[in-house]
């Protein structure tokens, strides 16, 4: 019984730390940018994200399961191999934090 309570408390603490980290990142943390291409409709878009700010980043590593902003279909995108410089790269479509 005590083990289950301990695991529950640990999960809640991790969730709180990740939420605080993502809020801090939204204000002034390092926002990464990846230029992605939807494999289903071939639309190109930019995805801004905070590295390590979600549970999916822990589970999927450098990839994310995202919905295309155009066709709205879900696909797995490699964020690490498609990184671009947010200061010099500009694309019409952008999703994620600014």
pLDDT of residue 1: 66
Query: How many Cα atoms sit within 13 Å of 95 on the Cβ side?
Result: 12
Residue 72 buriedness (CB in 10 A; 0-12 / 13-18 / 19+): exposed
CA distance 68 to 38: 6
CA 5 to chain centre: 30
- Residue 18's CB is within 10 A of a number of other CB atoms, namely 16
Q: Which residues of the chain have pLDDT under 50?
A: 24-27
Query: How many Cα atoms sit within 13 Å of 2 on the Cβ side?
Result: 0
């Amino acid at each position: 019984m005590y083990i289950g309570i301990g695991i529950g408390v640990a999960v809640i603490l991790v969730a709180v730390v990740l939420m605080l980290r993502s809020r801090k990142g939204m204000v002034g943390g390092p926002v990464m940018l990846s230029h992605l291409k939807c494999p289903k409709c071939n639309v190109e878009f930019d995805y801004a994200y905070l590295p390590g700010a979600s549970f999916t980043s822990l589970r999927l590593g450098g990839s994310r399961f995202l919905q295309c902003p155009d066709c709205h279909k879900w696909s797995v995108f490699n964020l690490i191999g498609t990184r671009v410089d947010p200061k010099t790269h500009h694309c019409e479509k952008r999703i994620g934090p600014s």
